[in-house]
Amino acid sequence: MTADVNPPRRIFPSATEDAITAEKVEGTPQTNHPSYRLAIADMDFLLRDELRPLRFQLEMLKPELILKEHNIASTVVFYGSARIPPPAEAEALLAAAKTPQEKLIARRLKEKSHYYDEARKLARRFSMMPQDPEGERHYVVCSGGGPSIMEAANRGAHDAGAPTIGLNIVLPHEQYPNEYVTPSLSFQFHYFALRKMHFLMRARALVVFPGGYGTFDELFEALTLIQTGKMKPIPVLLFGKTFWNRVVNFEALVEEGTISPRDIELFQYVETADEAWKILHDCWGLPAE
């Protein structure tokens, strides 16, 4: 017997092939029962509480493998509110406000609306960085995939014709990816914990705009990881010193003895995309323009 010059790459049928074959089985009381389903095709089984560790692993692996397939080696993560409108919409929001409380909130949002343009501008600059000689992409813009500041970040990358990542999460109310996220890099998570890991695993910098609970959660988790040495230090840029000093008294934390004076050095304040780019230029030697 002569050896096959081109032996088959697979000896056993793939999981996909067996799943297709299993769907063609003749219906009987035995084959129709849920217990007969292949485990990999049985959603009721996969969603059991006992399978939570497996779901953690799947939610870790799926984005990881896809990002590798797209040669994404590093990212710049944009955090920020889902409620800050672009400048034109901020004007309309203020004009429509009726009560004193609505007018106050509308004015405050209008004051922050220029950050939409700054996020878009900075994201565009990152997205113009070329691939390295090995074909890997660096400084890929990554956001939570939602509206407002997240949209601005993805939009800036889209302006440059570059791939951009959106890490959405299932919420009780409707939450969809913004239109500027690259479809093949648009992910949806069940677990906040796994989403947070993917935000930080490839991050070269965190760019944090004014935001609410979600933004605070992501920011303070990252600062804690850096503070405790669980994560290597990376630039953390807070846009809007007036906002941050108004809503968080970092100096008071030092005075109360609950953080060290050097912990305030873990982040820097900036106001514009140009300021942020200069800091990162000095840190990494990025192009000046």
What are the boundaries of each domain within the chain? 74-87+114-128+136-284
Tell me the C-alpha distance between 203 and 234, whole Å: 8
State the pLDDT confidence band at 23, using cuts at 50, 70 and 90: confident
Q: What burial class does residue 95 get, using C-beta atoms within 10 Å of its C-beta: 0-12 exposed, 13-18 middle, 19+ buried?
A: exposed
Tell me the C-alpha distance between 154 and 124, whole Å: 9
Q: At what angle do helices 114-127 and 87-96 cross, to 10 degrees?
A: 160
* Opening angle at CA 169, ends 47 and 81, nearest 5: 160
Inter-CA distances, 211 with 137, 188, 239, 271, Å: 28, 21, 10, 15
Residue where the block lists tokens 């979600």:
214
Q: Which pLDDT score, from 0 to 100, does residue 16 have?
A: 87
- DSSP bridge partners of 187: 167
Q: 205-226: per-residue pLDDT in tens?
A: 999 999 999 999 999 999 999 9
The answer to whether 110 and 90 are in contact (CB under 8 A) is: yes
State the pLDDT confidence band at 154, using cuts at 50, 70 and 90: very high
Q: Which pLDDT score, from 0 to 100, does residue 213 have?
A: 95
The total of other beta-carbon atoms located within 10 Å of residue 186's CB is 17
- DSSP bridge partners of 142: 77, 165
Secondary structure of 178-192 in HEC code, one letter for each residue: CCCCCHHHEEEECCH
Tell me the C-alpha distance between 141 and 181, whole Å: 10
Tell me the C-alpha distance between 252 and 232, whole Å: 26
The answer to whether 180 and 159 are in contact (CB under 8 A) is: no
The reported pTM is 0.91
Tell me the C-alpha distance between 205 and 68, whole Å: 19
Q: Which pLDDT score, from 0 to 100, does residue 262 have?
A: 95
How far is C-alpha 46 from the chain's CA centre?
25
Residue type, position 172, single letter: P
Structure tokens at 28: 């009987």
What's the DSSP call for residue 5?
S
Tell me the C-alpha distance between 203 and 77, whole Å: 6
Inform me whether the pLDDT recorded for 165 exceeds 80: yes
Question: Where do the DSSP E strands lie in the chain?
Answer: 75-79, 140-143, 165-169, 186-189, 203-208, 236-239, 268-270
Q: Which pLDDT score, from 0 to 100, does residue 2 have?
A: 57
Q: What burial class does residue 91 get, using C-beta atoms within 10 Å of its C-beta: 0-12 exposed, 13-18 middle, 19+ buried?
A: middle
- DSSP bridge partners of 169: 189
Q: pLDDT higher for 66 or 34?
A: 66
Q: Which pLDDT score, from 0 to 100, does residue 287 have?
A: 75
Looking at residues 81-88, what average pLDDT do you find?
Answer: 93
Task: For the domain covering 74-87+114-128+136-284, report its CATH number.
Answer: 3.40.50.450
Q: 112-133: per-residue pLDDT in tens?
A: 999 999 999 999 999 999 999 9
Average pLDDT, the chain: 93
Inform me whether the pLDDT recorded for 233 exceeds 70: yes
Structure tokens at 169: 């999460």
Q: Which pLDDT score, from 0 to 100, does residue 173 have?
A: 78
